[in-house]
Structure 1
């Protein structure tokens, strides 16, 4: 009710509080004196401040959210809300998603789902409000506060496996997908002593469709976390809107290895010869593992009562004695699930029992693996019967006298002064003076009476030929008119250590490309590249003879073996 004086104006203020998000339309009448009532329509849309994170959401497995998601999808498929969300969806269109659908459509779907959850929550609160008398103002205030406590699907940030001592970081992008500026803050106190930290201060009035990024760090060593799973719920409170929960996850794990043998025991080996045994290292965990192996000798006690100079001399002599064991390789790294073989070589230098221990150290791990190694060296000995050969007295110019000596030992014996065959057999094995290679040539032992057969041993090198230009290993030929020719250059590099000889050819299932002269590589002959980064240029020629659909083909490498 009101009164308007002649010639004056009266301004009516209309306040409307939408109970649920979405488009609304209400009407009321204004009657002036005896005149007919005038109808006034009130139209608008109820909304709430909200944000969007470029993280996957925890929807699968939750029956409530899956049902709401299906309804939201059906509603968007009908096109009822699609045009209204395009502008806001463009703000997050560049964000990577976890599913196969388009990013902008996924943002619209999440927005629609949030609106339906807020509407469902608001309807429940309205039912509770209508059940109480209007005089219960305290209850009404509590209901109004509950309107902002709707449960929305959690965002998930899983940093995977993290090794103590490493710090993993992830950049998160927050976008204001509401119609009004949004203010929000992160409750960082919940991250105390969890290893997680967030670099985000209070954000005030972030404009619509604008974004802000922040960094999430995880350092398990700073909080002295034990091995195992870490799961923290980080709330992001939006002023005047719902609270968005971010589930932070990580798995604290140490690198570890499994060794195929817990003990190595060599048979008796003659000095000058060697014997090899193999152990296998297996990384069964989900984090990369760097390892190194060292050989340690058992510590022999030295008499403490000896004079200082003699005590020090004995210690130095003990250190200078060769261990007799060698490990190849002595260090390396293994990816998750990868295996490698380690060769342990026993080369005795004197006749005695050898004892050692393989110490396997793992980087960033408290695990220490020890493998005892035992071996025995034998020196070659000759037993002659008789030990002394005594010949009787002889006259000058006589026919002489003969004696027989029996030599017992399963090895070949020859006289250096009278036997020259060993010189011819050992000639190919002599190392040139200019050869500084530390590698040894291993030969199998020869039985008595056999000739020396040299057997070369080496190490295989993996062939690796790569395309270094263009980036991405994709040659874009573009649109070419029929009868014209386009040429592109490709740079090929040999990243292996050995020289290689290979040939390139194009394979395609498109019939038009199989015609002669359409898609060619030059040179078509064998290519030879030196090892360690040598490069060459390959020309790709495309000359279409008829209209063709967009295509893609592959180039195969045919290796003919290492070049000389």
Structure 2
């Protein structure tokens, strides 16, 4: 403008100034980067102009005069230019229309992009926008994130948030009140979203939080989230097991897939449990359907295979809905299962009879018939007299670690076949462990238990070398010794009796597998042959069982009988061997070896009382 004084020439005076306003910068707080800027689409030209303006004022790259890395001078200048233009544009519109700023805000379409009405009723410009992304949130859960407010002004500021607007959105901010922030001061605010809030559905969620800076523009924080309900996809919803023989089971595999972005906890439930009750007592009297595993965790986009087994108990048709419950999901995914149980049809004629009176030492015999009306072969056991049945029952009762859901699943058994090898091996190992834990003084009289030799009963000593066959003494010169073999069904007392005899008479308690293992370590004909058999035993391509020559085992036992620790005799309480499941081969080899070393052989068979 110009100023003229009296008769002097007018003087030109230029006045320059820059408007200042309070401003803040929002950033993530903590290790999670959840806050980002959401600039308008036309903001990029302002960034280029701000960079050019500041570059012309500085020889090097412009930096914050406060030294804070959060304060970007280019961004701050771009916001100032953007703020200047929208104010100037509004001023021109007000001049041309004759409307006030508030009247113009009510009718202009561009208002939603640049202005908001505060809870005090005042229309204010939005200077900057930010997005706080909570990510995926499970319906019914809460999730919290933190952000930091930094005052980038040269003076202290105060700001507030309209909490009445947030009351129905499920979003809460902590702390409730905000202190005055000094220049370059910061404050951390926690944002929590409670998805249990009434009216919140499933899908994309957003909520605008306005930070109203006193004496300055607004800062808009858009809180976003994706609310989900965990769910799974099943490969099918119906299983038909058809006819299944009672005593057998049929298994069908079902795939479960987690299609959501968060881990999914699932568990199988019975129809009563899926309805909110408890499983009824006696519900399995007709059979049941069992899911294995009964529960699990599926990672995002992961597929897991579960097995559903039908275990019939009686000859009836069974229909049941097996429920799959997913954590945080009220829906129960139902798997309709149907199956028919078929019992073996065996008839005994006559069902009962009386034997006539007989004199002592005479026999009385009555014949009855067993008729199989089933469509499959049937193996019949006598529950009172069949020793094989009694032994197998004991083996099955001691296989509790192999049970799944209180059921022991074994491969279908052919008529006349034995129990699976792995089941027999587990049982034998359990018996060996029981032998190791056997405490002798608990079984012997007190005066004998105090004897020093009873504290450490003699056992096989693998460190004693086996003399090669070439250096063996002649049979006529070999010392005469006794070899005692104890046989009998499991749990008949073989191990107990052999331990007591070995302790009392200083006999060698011979372990067959340990003897063969030691023999394999020597470079002899017998050692090489045993190593070959051992390799074949572990080769899945070699047919089982192996044929083990009794002569080979006899040579090994003969060498062992000649060792110095057998001078008081040898006792064998177990004819089991990992190379062969036929105890007759072992017994024949012991007999042959005993004859070659001129030993006295005694075989004692133990039985169990009914």
Normalising to structure 1: TM-score of the pair? 0.56
3-state DSSP of counterpart to 1:114: helix
- Residue 449 of structure 1 and its aligned partner are, at CA, apart by 5.5
Is 1:344 the equivalent of 2:323?
A: no
Q: Deviations over 1:115-141 (max 9, x none)?
A: 121232344356568879xxx9x9699
Counterpart position of 1:446: 413
Alignment of 1:215-226 (within 5 A): 215-226=190-201
Alignment of 1:420-439 (within 5 A): 431=398
Question: Paired residue for 1:173, among 120, 135, 148?
Answer: 148
Counterpart position of 2:222: 247
Q: Deviations over 1:214-270 (max 9, x none)?
A: 222211323332323332222222222211111122233222222221111212222
Counterpart position of 1:474: none
Residues 288 and 333 of structure 1 are in contact (CA less than 8 Å); yes or no, is this contact kept in structure 2? yes
Q: Which protein is richer in helix relative to its size?
A: 2
Alignment of 1:228-377 (within 5 A): 228-296=203-271, 318-319=282-283, 321=285, 323-377=287-341
Counterpart position of 1:71: 49
3-state DSSP of counterpart to 1:56: strand
The number of residues matched between the two structures is: 385
Alignment of 1:88-99 (within 5 A): 88=66, 90=68, 93=69
Is 1:51 the equivalent of 2:24?
A: yes
User: Bigger CA drift: 180-189 or 321-330?
Assistant: 321-330
Cα distance in 2 between the residues matched to 1:385 and 1:243: 98
- The alpha-carbon distance between structure 1 residues 297 and 75, as it changes in their structure 2 partners (threshold 3 A), is same
Q: Deviations over 1:133-176 (max 9, x none)?
A: xxx9x969999xx9995443421112233233212222221110
5+ residue gaps, structure 2, are: 28-34, 105-113, 116-122, 274-278, 353-364, 425-610
- The alpha-carbon distance between structure 1 residues 441 and 234, as it changes in their structure 2 partners (threshold 3 A), is same
Q: Which protein is richer in strand relative to its size?
A: 1
Alignment of 1:182-221 (within 5 A): 182-199=157-174, 201=176, 203=178, 205-221=180-196
Residues 233 and 246 of structure 1 are in contact (CA less than 8 Å); yes or no, is this contact kept in structure 2? yes
Cα distance in 1 between the residues matched to 2:257 and 2:57: 55
Is 1:110 the equivalent of 2:75?
A: yes
- The alpha-carbon distance between structure 1 residues 372 and 174, as it changes in their structure 2 partners (threshold 3 A), is same
5+ residue gaps, structure 1, are: 1-26, 94-103, 299-314, 389-399, 458-564
- Residue 56 of structure 1 and its aligned partner are, at CA, apart by 0.7
- The alpha-carbon distance between structure 1 residues 241 and 30, as it changes in their structure 2 partners (threshold 3 A), is farther
3-state DSSP of counterpart to 2:46: helix
Cα distance in 2 between the residues matched to 1:263 and 1:340: 18
Cα distance in 1 between the residues matched to 2:160 and 2:373: 92
Residues 65 and 153 of structure 1 are in contact (CA less than 8 Å); yes or no, is this contact kept in structure 2? no
Q: Deviations over 1:411-464 (max 9, x none)?
A: 24356599877788888766269999976553221334656544679xxxxxxx
- Residue 64 of structure 1 and its aligned partner are, at CA, apart by 0.5
Cα distance in 1 between the residues matched to 2:210 and 2:292: 53
Cα distance in 1 between the residues matched to 2:59 and 2:20: 14
Cα distance in 2 between the residues matched to 1:291 and 1:67: 52
User: Bigger CA drift: 77-86 or 67-76?
Assistant: 77-86
Kindly name which structure, 1 or 2, has the bigger radius of gyration based on alpha carbons: 2
Residues 30 and 40 of structure 1 are in contact (CA less than 8 Å); yes or no, is this contact kept in structure 2? no
Residues 89 and 108 of structure 1 are in contact (CA less than 8 Å); yes or no, is this contact kept in structure 2? no
- The alpha-carbon distance between structure 1 residues 169 and 28, as it changes in their structure 2 partners (threshold 3 A), is farther
Residues 268 and 294 of structure 2 are in contact (CA less than 8 Å); yes or no, is this contact kept in structure 1? yes
- Residue 208 of structure 1 and its aligned partner are, at CA, apart by 0.6
Cα distance in 1 between the residues matched to 2:196 and 2:19: 47
Residues 137 and 228 of structure 2 are in contact (CA less than 8 Å); yes or no, is this contact kept in structure 1? yes
Cα distance in 1 between the residues matched to 2:101 and 2:289: 84
Question: Paired residue for 2:131, among 151, 156, 166?
Answer: 156
- Residue 73 of structure 1 and its aligned partner are, at CA, apart by 4.4
Cα distance in 2 between the residues matched to 1:316 and 1:200: 51
Counterpart position of 1:120: 85
Cα distance in 2 between the residues matched to 1:175 and 1:404: 97
Residues 23 and 153 of structure 2 are in contact (CA less than 8 Å); yes or no, is this contact kept in structure 1? yes
Cα distance in 2 between the residues matched to 1:81 and 1:263: 76
Is 1:411 the equivalent of 2:377?
A: yes
Cα distance in 1 between the residues matched to 2:242 and 2:400: 35
- Residue 189 of structure 1 and its aligned partner are, at CA, apart by 2.8
Residues 292 and 362 of structure 1 are in contact (CA less than 8 Å); yes or no, is this contact kept in structure 2? yes
- The alpha-carbon distance between structure 1 residues 118 and 40, as it changes in their structure 2 partners (threshold 3 A), is same
3-state DSSP of counterpart to 1:121: helix
3-state DSSP of counterpart to 1:64: coil
3-state DSSP of counterpart to 1:178: coil
RMSD over aligned Cα atoms: 4.8
